[in-house]
Amino acid sequence: MRSIVRFAKFALIAAVCVAAISGMTTAASAQSYPSRPIRLVVGFPPGGINDLVARIIGQSVSDSLGQPIVVENRPGAGGTIGAAAVAKADPDGYTLLLASVSNLAMAPSQYKNLPYDPNKDFAPVALVAASPNILVVPNDSTIRTVPDLIALAKKQPGTLNYGSAGNGTSNHLTVELLKTMAGIDLVHVPYRGDAPGMTDVLAGRIQMMFPTLPVALPQIKAGAVRAIAVSSPKRSELVPEIPTVAESASMPEFSVSVWVGILAPAGTSPEIVSKLNAEINKALASSTVREQLAVQGTEPAAAGDPKAFAAYLAAETKKWSEVAKAAGIVPN
């Protein structure tokens, strides 16, 4: 009996020692991190807004950490290919993902066999930037406000067309959210990207579109289209004269932000995640970075910790799942 007790005490002491050594190893690893280049995966092609934001933030954080951050583009399937690759990567802090609302919060309602769980397979690091979608109409349209649009849609149900960058995209689901909240019927015309849809708005072939602000901004500044409202909860600093949907249509709960954030594989040590979060928030506070993001038509996110980003991601995933269900979108 005594030998059993002595063995149990020995096992307990050994377990405590192992835990202590493991903790010291993790702490030491975090202190020395990073000791080699970091790979930042973007699930979209070079030249797009996700890619450009990744390079702006990556360069600033790289300069601060003293190690290169290499942007790797892995486009395809709405950004899900790149996200899946990071979900399966080693959780050592050397493979990160720059993800967007589309391949994290919206993807679960678009794909039956999504190869990752946005809320379980990643360790959220930091929300990086966001921009609104912006409602635009042809210059000769009678629609000048969101209430104008709602009134016309109720008077002529099923006759007004709106364009999007494709089924399940943020500008598609933005209008579906508006349809649900306003109780109106609009006809969806999906395109292969924002640009073809904007071309048809300019030509008056469709009555409206909710493109991303970076896409629409040049046409708005040129006076080629009429901007009606932004989808974000507050006015954009880039077009402060344009009201929000929420304020102009008395819909306080209407809110859509096309956001991007950085995540690591699940299991990455909290110390490394915290270090990366601090460095990203420092970059976002830089006037140089803020100016570079503004040129791309996007705004830096407010400083926040990983837990806040995780909670935001969970809320966004739930929200867009409900919007997709209400719109009758069937995952494929």
State mean pLDDT over 194-207: 93
Report CA-CA distances (Å) from 264 to 90, 191, 246, 254: 9, 32, 34, 30
User: At residue 69, what are phi and psi to the nearest 5 degrees?
Assistant: -115, 110
Domain count, the chain: 2
pLDDT of residue 327: 86
Where among 248, 275, 290 does a domain terminate? 248
Q: In whole angstroms, give the CA distance from residue 215 to residue 260.
A: 16
Nearest to 57 by CA among 258, 240, 307, 298: 298
Q: In whole angstroms, give the CA distance from residue 212 to residue 317.
A: 19
- Whether the per-residue pLDDT at 46 is higher than 80: the answer is yes
Domain assignment of residue 212, given as a range: 136-248
Does a structural domain hold residue 264? yes
pLDDT of residue 77: 85
pLDDT category at 249 given cuts 50, 70, 90 is very high
- Whether the per-residue pLDDT at 276 is higher than 90: the answer is yes
Where do runs of H (alpha helix) occur along the chain?
Answer: 2-32, 49-65, 80-87, 146-155, 170-182, 194-202, 213-221, 245-248, 270-284, 287-295, 306-326
pLDDT of residue 78: 83
Q: Provide CB contacts within 8 A for 180, sequence distance 6+.
A: 323, 326, 327
For residue 40, give the 3-state DSSP assignment: strand
Q: Which residue has the higher pLDDT, 139 or 1?
A: 139
Nearest to 96 by CA among 47, 33, 153: 33
Both 184 and 287 in one domain: the answer is no
- Whether the per-residue pLDDT at 27 is higher than 70: the answer is no
pLDDT per position as a tens digit, 103-142: 999 999 888 889 999 999 999 999 999 999 999 999 999 9
Q: In whole angstroms, give the CA distance from residue 73 to residue 166.
A: 21
Does a structural domain hold residue 4? no
Does a structural domain hold residue 24? no
Report CA-CA distances (Å) from 191 to 162, 169, 220, 328: 10, 10, 20, 19
pLDDT of residue 198: 93
Q: Decide: residue 323, CB within 10 A, 0-12 exposed, 13-18 middle, 19+ buried.
A: buried
Both 150 and 244 in one domain: the answer is yes
Give the full edge-to-edge strand order of the sheet including 299-300: 69-73, 38-42, 95-100, 258-265, 122-131, 299-300
Both 62 and 162 in one domain: the answer is no
pLDDT per position as a tens digit, 145-175: 999 999 999 999 999 999 998 888 899 999 9
Q: In whole angstroms, give the CA distance from residue 100 to residue 121.
A: 15
pLDDT of residue 16: 47
Does a structural domain hold residue 322? yes
Does a structural domain hold residue 332? no
pLDDT per position as a tens digit, 279-291: 999 999 999 999 9
User: What's the DSSP call for residue 302?
Assistant: P
Per cent of the chain over pLDDT 70 is 91
Token readout for 14 is 């050994």
pLDDT per position as a tens digit, 123-134: 999 999 999 999
- Whether the per-residue pLDDT at 182 is higher than 90: the answer is yes
User: What's the DSSP call for residue 142?
Assistant: S
Both 159 and 55 in one domain: the answer is no
Q: In whole angstroms, give the CA distance from residue 132 to residue 312.
A: 16
pLDDT of residue 30: 67
pTM (predicted TM-score): 0.84
For residue 121, give the 3-state DSSP assignment: coil
Q: For the chain, what is the mean pLDDT?
A: 90
Token readout for 306 is 């990983």
Both 103 and 162 in one domain: the answer is no
State mean pLDDT over 44-66: 94
pLDDT of residue 8: 46
pLDDT of residue 47: 87
pLDDT of residue 25: 52
Both 203 and 268 in one domain: the answer is no
- Whether the per-residue pLDDT at 9 is higher than 60: the answer is no
Does a structural domain hold residue 285? yes
Does a structural domain hold residue 109? yes
Q: In whole angstroms, give the CA distance from residue 246 to residue 235.
A: 10
**CATH number of domain containing 284:** 3.40.190.150
- Whether the per-residue pLDDT at 28 is higher than 70: the answer is no
pLDDT of residue 5: 45
CB atoms within 10 A of CB 12: 10
β-bridge mates for residue 225, sequence order: 138
